Structure 1
Amino acid sequence: MADEAKAKGNAAFSSCDFVAAVTHFTEAIGLAPTNHVLYSNRSAAYASLHKYADALDDAKKTVELKPDWPKGYSRLGAAYIGLNQFSDAIDAYKKGLQIDPNNETLKSGLADAESAASRSRGSASANPFGDVFQGPEMWAKLTADPSTRGYLQQPDFVKMMQDIQKNPSNLNLYLKDQRVMQALGVLLNVKFKAPTGEDTEMPEAESSPTPRKEPEREKKPEPVPEPEPMELSEEEERKQKARKEKELGNAAYKKKDFETAIEHYTKATELDDEDISYLTNRAAVYLEMGKYDECIKDCDKAVERGRELRSDFKMVARALTRKGTALVKLAKCSKDYEPAIETFQKALTEHRNPDTLKKLNEAERAKKELEQQEYFDPKIADEEREKGNEFFKEQKYPEAVKHYTEAVKRNPNDPRAYSNRAACYTKLGALPEGLKDAEKCIELDPTFTKGYSRKGAVQFFMKEYDKAMETYQEGLKHDPKNQELLDGVRRCVEQVNKANRGDLSPEELKERQAKAMQDPEIQNILSDPVMRQVLVDFQENPKAAQEHMKNPMVMNKIQKLVSAGIVQVR
């Protein structure tokens, strides 16, 4: 838990969110209060927030816990510099260099501290009151005196005093501020008169000379050392290196430099085996290279490791989808698609991704097409059709259907198998199935007249005499002398004439009309306003009816209504 909080603190520090970094390091310290690295890191975060007193406390704790660690003295020196306690900073850096004489960070810090101390002494000598602002004694005196204690709660006052502390000559810039004058009096152990106007002057009775306002000089900010990088554990360093390898692998993959990409992803995997994205990325490269077996192995490893680590479902699904894609590439026959389909289905149970669903549908479609190709055998189809014919002759229609169905599977392009099965369905009373097979027969071969006779027979038994007659007539266009089709036409004409003569019983007529009313074509005719007026004219206006009879389209629709039993001619 402490390592996790530390990692969050490091991440926040790297993104310059120092407040969050302090929060996470504090949490980590609560879990591991003797870990010197945590105090060191929090000291750096406090220094970044310019909270140098807090940074100093943590730096001292770091040195206390680990006196032989050079970086602790680096933190200590940085905190002292932030507090303008340059002599203490120099001492801290020198102690660190005694432990590690070649430490460049300590050498640089010492040079900064000595330079800052030199400038501070020079500035103090240029101002008669410079000494009173140096060191922590200034803040102690101001805190102890009731007249200035409240000023320390005012940020602008504190900022002015810090500015004077860094460069005592800057006192001249703030002499008009009553609070600064009051603070100066406390530090010098003298009392100044209260200001009477905008200007604040030194009283005449004082022996101390009034400082002459010097020309404003360009202020040079004292160096505040940049916080050093956070301390990373070996594990964190490995993970960081692994991420860098992954980025290099991604860049190589985009450039189609697959061999280099493989090298980087492999290094990333070796450095960190808790991130399965390195494996799935390498699998993607193998897939592009056509190395499908290697791709599948990496995907299997990613799935196994992902489940051990309880990785994101999307990551596991990605590995499964990639494996399924490789299996599809390896498929040679319909059975080879089965493991690919199963893998895609597993991926969808992990995460329902549209791309995975699309790949599943494509695999299932490819499998079905291959099955049909593999099962195709015209010779066996003919044998099965002949077996069906034998059963048909023996009036064993269910057995005949079984063999005709096998013939259709073996050769789905042979219209004879559909025609024969349509005849069986008709005998069994399965008229919709028979009609479907007859239509398929005509679709495969429009010149195959047997298909028209099968379809017309089904329509006739369904008492759709007008449709049956159209089917027979369409077949006669291809074979005008076909006796089976001619007989079909004759039977239809007889039924239509029987209806026209009124020879149908009331029950037959009612049944025929009910059947006709289900026909969309009849429904359209009856719902047409023009045809409704025509029917009215036939009953009430003989002269208008004669005019309607001259129109072939109208007469054709009237004939359909007559054939259907809707209209009766007397």
Structure 2
Amino acid sequence: MEQVYQLKEKGNQALAWGKFDEAVKYYTKAIALDPQNHVLYSNRSAAYAKDENYTAALADADQTITLNPTWSKGYSRKGSALAYLGRHEEAIAAYEKGLELEPGNEQLASGLAEVKKQAAELQVKTEQLFEKLREHPKTKEWMNDPEYVKMVEKLARNPFDVSVQNLVTKMKEEKITTTIGIMFGLDLNVPMDVDQPAPEKKAEEPPKKEEPEKPKYEDLPQDRRLALQEKDLGNDSYKKKDFENALKHYQKAKEHDPSDITFYTNMAAVYFEQKEYEKCIKECEKAIDVGRENRADFKLIAKAFTRIGNAYKKMEQWKLAKTYYEKSMSEHRTPEIKTLLSEVEKQIAEEEKKAYVDPVKAEQEKELGNDYFKKGDYSTAVKHYTEAIKRNPDDPKLYSNRAACYTKLAAFDLGLKDCDQCCKLDPKFIKGWIRKGKILQGMQQHSKALTAYQKALELDPSNQEALEGYRACSTQLNSNPEEVRKRAMADPEVQQILRDPAMRCILEQMQQDPQALQDHLKNPDIAAKIQKLLESGLIAIH
């Protein structure tokens, strides 16, 4: 098992340095010696993913889950690999399964949110592509073929997926080249660098006698003809931004033919340009009633709902805007409306977030977090610091405090994220840089840790904690792993920790089941000893 541990540590170090091929080799050797170790497959999955070999990353993630189906990190690895492969629905299912096992895991939650966002964007792109293919003279007939539609969906999701290639081989070359050409805005049927043949000269036809142009709308009933003529005059005035005359012409059009929805929506468009949003809304509501009564095209009704949504958006009544965009989508679903709806939903979330801000309550939650931190109950402390951040998201100290909890819980990736936010909010907050250095040191990323300590020393050259961290990282960077190990083993404090039978048992358990570490870290004494081993470079947690 000692050899497995050493190979795993070498793999972790190679991964941290960005040597992904090397990391895969070390993990593969370790797996050969200990094929039931799910952590090794998880780490190799991460290395494959970093190396952009997502198929192999997925295979290792599946094996991780097979070996330990209750370990949430396996589902995180699987979700990530599936997302990169464009298999968003499966990725969402993987992240949701992980969250069932560990509901408070922020890495799984953020991964789920990101893949849902990717899936929504892909849906919009696919719908846009379908619209192009339905309108194109060559492809509109092909859209009736289920196999072709299936191929287009997969092509939009991931052109390099093996299943796409299998479908492509069944299709005619013309279909593939034409589809890809439309997809990327290219004409693949015209050979490059070849002069087009000159058009054949046609025999000159005798000039035709000019016939007088028929008056527009001549064949329509009088009221309908007059209504459309007024509409045309209104459109001309609208284009010239002569809104008063445009309104007069649209009003006359309505008087001649009150059953045409477009006269009402055009009038609403004028009110919108004049910033008369209430009038715009009322006119659109009339348009919808008229449209329903006269069985107007659902696209025109959707347009009226959209215009109401736009008016409410301008009035910053976000929830009403959302309601009418949703009504528009129920009539006629388009990428443009979906984008508008997403923008409004984002604005609503932002407003709710601002409304929740309360610095006084944030301070109360921070104090509760501090109390639980002192008791060694880091998970509960995290909950209170998280609530404090929601109440006051611009306070860098709150992120620093939560990062300290994550460090104690060995959730270094989340701690590092908080340190980055802390330093972004206040680049002169020295504790944020020191805490970032310590986390990177624990992750064996000594070069990055050195940079963090340098930032801290720029702010306070005499800070003892920053100086010690800087020296330790410099030593680590200039030593090979064996020297680091020897130096750590020579430290009396490290020797005492390793002689402790309980600590040896915990370290062995960490290799087999990293999830069990979370329970041990609730004990402040054990957490301090593990922190010492991390800082010595003897162990690393990923």
- Normalised by the length of structure 2, the TM-score is 0.45
In terms of Rg, which structure is larger? 1
> Which structure has more RCO (C-alpha within 8 Å, separation ≥ 6)?
2
